[in-house]
Structure 1
């Protein structure tokens, strides 16, 4: 009888009306309800030694000007819990770009990107064309704008291995260099943040050369919607994973974990020495020592149960209301609720906050 009852429950799972959730047959949840064993996704991320070496104040000033200073000041993010991300992907719906919980639909929005990391959301889209595939062109560009020539294998593939960028941070800068050298180092930092946290690909350790074009002009760099690009890449990777097209998942999964901790108290770690968060991006809340005793970490079944039995008072719809936020975290407020298109190079994804607004 127990086996028969389980089978009936599995048959009843899924959307009653398939007109909206029309991709159910391809969705990873189908296998779970059918009792097919599933593997955790492998979350890609790499920041090199960003957090291990002191940063020159003049370099930090340039990074601020480029729009990445708030994110850098948040400090090193915690390791990604692959089981948490897997459980969230199982509830992600590509048709609506939202997570479906018992308490309603929810999603990572432009507000979350800007408030958590201080990234610009109202700006020019991150798209264009590849300037050249000529190796000599990229030798010259890398030397001029980064201060070094990539290894031969990097030039052949037109991708930096992140270690080649990370190694540049080991070269100490004093306070008496020409300004262009601080600009070069700032670009290295920003490229590592871009390829390691914002839009990491499924390999987790390569950054395409063409992204350098967005960092060449320091002032122009600050005009791009880095938050919009980050969210487009995250949406794209969640959709691919939810439809079972990949198990190595890129995108800003660190941001997704921060979003989940902010909004779902029953799964968050307890911070042991909470950092002061006033007038800093909210990601700083989740740095430092933490206890996972009361959190269900590193257990996919527990996360599934927590999400399946979630009550209305176990999800925070407006977690940032009481925060004192710096200007860099609220500059894009007028477009947080916009129904628009998010762009990151060849990834184009809809932003539909109307489905989750409270």
Structure 2
């Protein structure tokens, strides 16, 4: 079956649109201002027709009137939520010495090391955010805006590679096929002896410290099964070819498959909650994806729901921030999410600019794209560009999910306009993969300054009000004057030239192809800050105030503090003005 041309035509055009428009703050505390804005495509051409049908349809998915998951007789099995086992940690440490360089080459080193973390599960939080899921858009719909887990989150939090060959890549040599046969034979032994299910624990017992010639492949197969690359949570033949490729240094794009499985599980959990409400009792559901990333996503972005993270070193995987961190006691997750407009962080990872310099430049930057840039398999810039464009994700068992970053452009520091509709994808996984890794057609790409936060167009504010906010509050009435921080400089963005020649001493590995144009400044950090640094005072869901330490440069800390104080001052001025009007009839 061929993929519909309208899907391909919409998504293969340029990724960004630049134009002047009237913009307002997403939290509704600014007057409309005319300025140059940067949007992710496709965008809706008008507000007429079916542009808001998807959001409107989400209202028909009736949820329980009261959020009380503890009272639900619902059992959820989180198969992709690894339990920390001493044997597994021992295996990781033993093989890291021998194969760590291979893991780094194929981009899975941090992802493997992250399995040494123990993430404390908060089922109420998982249920609460799943209630907000819209399966038609693969986004969360909150009263105050639309957000989602993106490829950026999978890449930064889970450390899964976004570029490489697809997960369904066949084995290419007789030697690889022979290794697969040995793995299949090892899997059949316990089945033949006593019919035992081949769990990851049983598999580890077979290969840990065995000295087997296929131990590395067996280890990688165990890891893939632990993080959701199995259709039933048991050792599956499906993961063997992937493990064999990775063991030989062949890069596999695991990120899109991970995200597709998360989208699938969020839709399954949302449907289960809705069906339960409508007396269609499904008392048990199994989630196979690494669903802990959903919980970490909430912790990274919702400051009112975030427990105290760990301080980590720059070389540590991001997940180490949440190792054995205790969850917050939240009385009503639904209420906390609905009222989190001013607590939501659109760009939480900018504080880690020392780790992702080009992704989060100090100053806004225009990158000129080399025509061959998309063919560089290890290019981190290509990975980030992939996060920004509409595509199709291929997961296990031929799961295919649409990826719609244009609906959540503010998560990338872009401005938000009414998103255009992307037709349903009809095609094979091979066609879907071709769409995912298509050539970058833009001649240049804009990257906002890392402290910049996007706005929404006035028509988006009107559309959101008509689509969602009519049941919550009047967005338009909340628009008041606000100072805008980090506006684009008058001389325009700094320019970087994408070039595969030469190396820069100040550019981290993977970014050696970026060269600073003679007339521009790269805007990169001068220092290499550790994770953590900023002191942030805020109240959590229990009303407790804490002072958090994250590591960032002084300029970043002062910039965020100034912006935070400006926002607080403007909100206080608005409250005082309203009180004066109510009491005296004037301001």
TM-score (norm: length of structure 1): 0.75
Q: 2:235 aligns with which of 199, 203, 207?
A: 207
Contact 1:146/1:188 (8 A) holds in 2:
no
Separation of aligned partners in 1, 2:147 and 2:180: 41
Contact 1:120/1:225 (8 A) holds in 2:
yes
Q: Is 1:55 aligned to residue 94 of structure 2?
A: yes
Q: Which residue of 2 aligns with 1:107?
A: 148
- 1:15-164 aligned at under 5 Å gives the runs 19-22=54-57, 24-25=59-60, 27=61, 30-33=62-65, 38=72, 39=74, 41-44=76-79, 45-46=81-82, 49-53=87-91, 54-56=93-95, 57-74=97-114, 75-127=116-168, 141=179, 144=182, 148-153=186-191, 160-164=198-202
Q: Which residue of 2 aligns with 1:8?
A: none
Q: Which has the larger helix fraction?
A: 1
Provide the secondary structure at the position in 2 that maps to 1:357.
helix
Provide the secondary structure at the position in 1 that maps to 2:238.
helix
Separation of aligned partners in 2, 1:129 and 1:222: 12
Q: Is 1:269 aligned to residue 307 of structure 2?
A: yes
Alpha-carbon deviations, 1:302-331, whole Å to 9, x = none? 21221122132x011111112122698945
Q: Which residue of 2 aligns with 1:227?
A: 255
Q: CA deviation at 1:336?
A: 1.0
Provide the secondary structure at the position in 2 that maps to 1:20.
helix
Q: Which residue of 2 aligns with 1:238?
A: 266
Q: 1:258 aligns with which of 296, 299, 308?
A: 296
Q: Is 1:194 aligned to residue 246 of structure 2?
A: no
Q: Which residue of 1 aligns with 2:390?
A: 339
**Residues 113 and 31 of structure 1, relative CA distance in 2, 3 Å threshold:** closer
Contact 2:220/2:247 (8 A) holds in 1:
no
Separation of aligned partners in 1, 2:246 and 2:305: 40
**Residues 95 and 217 of structure 1, relative CA distance in 2, 3 Å threshold:** closer
Query: Which structure 1 segments of 5+ residues have no match?
Result: 1-16, 132-138, 174-179
Contact 1:342/1:349 (8 A) holds in 2:
yes
Separation of aligned partners in 2, 1:147 and 1:67: 29
Separation of aligned partners in 2, 1:154 and 1:253: 33
Q: Is 1:305 aligned to residue 344 of structure 2?
A: no
Q: CA deviation at 1:279?
A: 3.9
Provide the secondary structure at the position in 2 that maps to 1:325.
coil
Q: CA deviation at 1:211?
A: 1.8
Q: CA deviation at 1:334?
A: 1.8
**Residues 353 and 326 of structure 1, relative CA distance in 2, 3 Å threshold:** closer
Contact 2:120/2:325 (8 A) holds in 1:
no
Contact 1:281/1:326 (8 A) holds in 2:
no
Q: Which residue of 1 aligns with 2:404?
A: 352
Q: CA deviation at 1:151?
A: 3.0
**Residues 232 and 221 of structure 1, relative CA distance in 2, 3 Å threshold:** farther
Q: Is 1:283 aligned to residue 319 of structure 2?
A: yes
Separation of aligned partners in 2, 1:40 and 1:223: 37
Q: CA deviation at 1:64?
A: 3.1
Separation of aligned partners in 2, 1:222 and 1:112: 23
Alpha-carbon deviations, 1:133-169, whole Å to 9, x = none? xxxxxx9645645994543428999984222222245
RMSD over aligned CA atoms reads: 3.6
Q: CA deviation at 1:222?
A: 3.9
Q: CA deviation at 1:197?
A: 2.1
Separation of aligned partners in 1, 2:316 and 2:77: 30
Separation of aligned partners in 1, 2:248 and 2:66: 51
Contact 2:163/2:253 (8 A) holds in 1:
yes
Q: CA deviation at 1:80?
A: 2.2
Separation of aligned partners in 2, 1:89 and 1:329: 33
Query: Which structure 2 segments of 5+ residues have no match?
Result: 1-51, 276-283, 358-377, 411-587
Contact 1:110/1:228 (8 A) holds in 2:
yes
**Residues 219 and 142 of structure 1, relative CA distance in 2, 3 Å threshold:** closer
Separation of aligned partners in 1, 2:188 and 2:405: 42
Q: Which residue of 2 aligns with 1:170?
A: 208
Q: CA deviation at 1:188?
A: 2.7
**Residues 196 and 310 of structure 1, relative CA distance in 2, 3 Å threshold:** same
Contact 2:153/2:297 (8 A) holds in 1:
yes
Separation of aligned partners in 2, 1:145 and 1:337: 38
Q: Which residue of 2 aligns with 1:4?
A: none
Q: CA deviation at 1:43?
A: 2.1
Corresponding residue pairs, total: 314
Whose Rg is larger? Answer: 2
Q: CA deviation at 1:189?
A: 2.9
Separation of aligned partners in 1, 2:166 and 2:193: 27
Contact 2:171/2:245 (8 A) holds in 1:
no
Separation of aligned partners in 1, 2:66 and 2:325: 37
Alpha-carbon deviations, 1:276-302, whole Å to 9, x = none? 1x2443222222x5354xx23xx5x52
Moved more, 140-149 or 278-287: 140-149
